[in-house]
């Protein structure tokens, strides 16, 4: 996993300079780079398209922006960092006094050397973000202000990658691609999702895994509006696997690369299978972690879990959104993200997918008394194994709870045995014809 961590970090560094927003060429350039690692199906949704209670906005692109001081020196320069411009700023070309300019400037007085990340997606305005220490050093005088941007009809862009499974029920893995130069809150999730997709494709998973790379909020809403067959049929009918939706489980990845402990935010249901799996995997791994309840604020889990859909989708991060000082600032740079943290997040995702994929419900075909395991060679197969007693107990527990209502995760939790031991016992019993799925 060390090599994967370094490779993911290299992807974060490569994507970091790009100016992303909820629409525009920065999103396309990001997806082009991800597409070098995974085949992507890219979707372009025109401006003005109704999507649930929203409408796809105009597309925003930017070529250049700066503030030049009275000597002509650029004191704030978009070329140095995409964070310097208020996201979705309308074009401007003007000469303003420092006092006139102040109303369009955003800083972080508590962190005077950092540049904040600010946007104004749905209210036309313009502005710049800069370090407080830069603002404090500006002399009085007239400043040249220029933002060479366009806000016009275009498209919202998102992409999907599908890893085919043995069944058509899907696990949705989602990450957002709309933030500019923010390494943890945006790019780390993209990197982990990309490597997770590659790892799953090396085998033949049980579920079909659908990876969604989309702008936050409006991207998830657009995907939900365009995929009623995957989320429960004709809108606005409730969704979820119980009502025929093809999304059986889901996970939103965000803030996936900082050194903090792992945090899993449960789905709105709180008892979805993904919630149980993540609780089990994190607890069994002995990693420092935290489990939090669902709140309707955060990332796109709040869209997937909205009551009309009620999908079983949780969110995995390390330090959660707004939980670290560097959040939405220039300090969230590639140095803040570590290869070790990226690799650890990826490992947890792989472990969770493995449990999801193997968590079957079985029915005991010899339920009247304990079946004779010896004459079927099941005891003989344990001879000489250092874990023979554990394997035998796992067989007995699987037989006892294989009533069609209990899953293998139920068996592991109730017995206290490792999930791998339980699944190995189930495989052996299934091969011997004692249980059936």
The angle subtended at Cα 196 by Cα 193 and Cα 200, nearest 5°, is 140
Distance (Å, rounded) from C-alpha 78 to C-alpha 146? 10
Question: What string of H, E and C letters represents the secondary structure of 299-352?
Answer: CCHHHHCCCCCCCCEEEEECCCCCCCCCCCECCCCHHHCCHHHHHHHHHHHHHH
DSSP assignments along 12-77, one per residue:
HHHHTTS---SSSHHHHHHHHHHTTTS--EEEEEETT-EETTEE---EEEEEEEEEE-TTS-EEEE
Distance (Å, rounded) from C-alpha 262 to C-alpha 255? 10
Could you give phi then psi for residue 11, rounded to 5 degrees? -65, -40
3-class state of residue 403 by DSSP: strand
161 is in an annotated binding site: no
Distance (Å, rounded) from C-alpha 241 to C-alpha 311? 8
Q: Which residues line the annotated binding site?
A: 179, 185, 328
Q: Which residues line the annotated binding site for Zn(2+)?
A: 179, 185, 328
């Amino acid at each position: 996993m060390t090599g994967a961590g370094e490779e993911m970090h290299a992807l974060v560094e490569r994507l970091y300079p790009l100016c992303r927003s909820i629409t525009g060429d920065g999103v396309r350039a990001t997806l082009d780079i991800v597409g070098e690692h995974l085949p992507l199906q890219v979707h372009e949704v025109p401006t003005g398209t109704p999507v649930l209670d929203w409408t796809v906005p105009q597309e925003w692109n930017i070529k250049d922006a700066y503030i030049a001081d009275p000597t002509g020196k650029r004191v704030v320069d978009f070329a140095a960092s995409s964070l310097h411009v208020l996201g979705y700023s309308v074009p401007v070309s003007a000469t303003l006094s420092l006092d006139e300019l102040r109303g369009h400037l955003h800083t972080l007085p508590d962190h005077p050397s950092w540049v904040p990340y600010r946007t104004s997606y749905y209210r036309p305005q313009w502005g710049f973000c800069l370090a407080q220490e830069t603002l404090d050093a500006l002399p009085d005088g007239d400043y040249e202000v220029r933002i060479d941007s366009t806000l016009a009809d275009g498209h919202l862009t998102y992409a999907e990658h599908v890893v085919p499974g043995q069944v058509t029920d899907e696990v949705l893995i989602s990450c957002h691609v709309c933030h500019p130069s923010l390494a943890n809150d945006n790019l780390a999730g993209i990197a982990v999702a990309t490597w997770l997709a590659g790892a799953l494709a090396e085998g033949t998973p049980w579920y079909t895994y659908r990876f969604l790379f989309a702008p936050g909020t409006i991207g998830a809403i657009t995907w939900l509006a365009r995929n009623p067959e995957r989320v429960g049929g004709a809108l606005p009918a409730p969704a979820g696997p119980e009502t025929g939706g093809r999304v059986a489980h889901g996970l939103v990845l965000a803030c996936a690369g900082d050194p903090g402990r792992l945090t899993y935010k449960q789905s709105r249901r709180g008892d979805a299978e993904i919630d149980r799996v993540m609780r089990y995997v994190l607890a069994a791994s002995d990693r420092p972690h935290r489990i939090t309840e669902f709140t309707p604020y955060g990332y796109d889990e709040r869209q997937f879990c909205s009551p009309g859909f009620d999908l079983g989708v949780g969110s995995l991060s390390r330090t959660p959104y707004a939980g670290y000082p560097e959040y939405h600032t220039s300090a969230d740079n590639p140095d803040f993200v570590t290869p070790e943290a990226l690799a650890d997040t990826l490992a947890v995702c792989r472990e969770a997918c493995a449990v999801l994929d193997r968590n079957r419900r079985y029915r005991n075909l010899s339920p009247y008394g304990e079946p004779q395991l010896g004459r079927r060679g099941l005891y003989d197969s344990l001879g000489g194994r250092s874990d023979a007693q554990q394997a035998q107990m796992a067989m007995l527990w699987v037989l006892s709870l294989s009533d069609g209502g209990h899953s293998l995760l139920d068996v592991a939790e109730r017995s206290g045995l490792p999930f791998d031991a339980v699944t190995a016992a189930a495989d052996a019993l299934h091969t011997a014809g004692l249980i059936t799925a």
